[in-house]
Amino acid sequence: MIGRRTGQVVLMLAGLLAWAVQFTIIYGATSTLCGLDRADATLLGIGNVQAVVLATTLAAFLAAAGALAWLLWAQKRTSDQAAPADRFMTQAGALIGGFSLIAILWQGLPALILPACA
């Protein structure tokens, strides 16, 4: 009972949770790499910091998109017998997921524009 509900809440908030994890990682990594003067190194020709930010952004985007797809698919399967609260959480989760996809891309954008530690 508790397990199912917890899963529902996590799924409903998945997009924003992905954004939160992304934000923590990109900010933490940038500060740490700049603080330790290790930002000049490159990964596959891209700066260290940029590489971390872009990889994290991509991972967060895929995680949020995956959760959203799962949510919509699950809704299709059970929509006719779902309780109102369950249906509501699916719909709210879909809106949150859609919003988060944009927010996650927007959050990673600076890496394409700015120098890492200047």
Partner 1 sequence: MNVSERPGSFAPQEPDLPNPLPRPAGEFEALERAWKAPRGLSFITAVNNTYVGLWYVGTAFLFFILAGILALIMRAQLAAPESDLVGHDLYNQLFTMHGTVMMFLFAVPAVEAASVYLLPNMQAARDLPFPRLSAYAFWAYFVGGLVFFGTIFFGLSPNGGWFMYPPLTGSKYSPAENADWWLLGIGFIEISAIAGAIEIIVGVMKTRAVGMSLDKLPVYSWAMLVFAVMIVIGFPAIILGTLLLEMERAFDWPFFIAERGGDPLLWQHLFWFFGHPEVYIIFLPATGMVSMIVPAMAQTPLVGYRLIVLALIATGFLSFGLWVHHMFATGLPKMSLSFFSAASTAVSVPSGIQVFAWIATIASGRMKLTTPSLFIIGFLFIFTLGGLTGVMVAMAPFDWQAHDSYFVVAHLHYVLIGGMVFPLFAAFYYWVPVASKRPLSERLGRWVFGLMFLGVNVTFLPMHVTGLIGMPRRVYTYPVGMGWDALNLVSTVGAFMIAAGVAVFLVDLARNFRFAGEDNAGNIWNASTLEWLPNGNYNTRSIPSVVSRDPLWDQPNLSKHVEDGRYYLPGTATGGREALVTSPFDATPQYILQVPGPGWQPVLAAVFTAAFFLLLTVKFVLTSVVCGVIAVGCVIWWLWETDPGPVRPPADIGGGIVVPVYVTGPMNHSWWAMIVLMVVCGMVFTCLIFSYLFLWLVNPGAWPPQGIEPPERLWPLVSAALYIASAALIVVASRILRGDDRRSPRAVPILIAVALLLVSGASAADLWAQWRTGLSPSAHAYGAAVYAIVSLQIFFVLTTLVMGLYTIARWLAGRLDSIRRTTFDNTMLFWSYTVGQGLVGLAVVHGFPRLIGGP
CB of 45 or CB of 115, closer to partner 1? 115
Which of residues 41, 43, 69, 92 is near partner 1 by CB under 8 A? 92
Which of residues 7, 10, 32, 66 is near partner 1 by CB under 8 A? 32
Rounded CA separation 84/9 (Å): 15
Q: Nearest CA to 97 among 21, 12, 5, 25?
A: 12
- The answer to whether 118 contacts partner 1 (rule: CB under 8 A) is yes
- The answer to whether 3 contacts partner 1 (rule: CB under 8 A) is no
Q: Which of residues 59-88 bind partner 1 (CB under 8 A)?
A: 83-88
Which of residues 49, 60, 64, 65 is near partner 1 by CB under 8 A? 49
Q: Nearest CA to 117 among 56, 48, 70, 63?
A: 48
**Beta carbon of residue 8, minimum distance to partner 1 (angstroms, whole number):** 8
Piece of 19-27, 59-67, 69-77 that binds partner 1 (CB under 8 A):
19-27
Which of residues 10, 20, 43, 69 is near partner 1 by CB under 8 A? 20
CA 83 to chain centre: 28
**CB 48, CB 33: distance < 8 Å:** yes
Rounded CA separation 82/78 (Å): 6
**CB 68, CB 97: distance < 8 Å:** yes
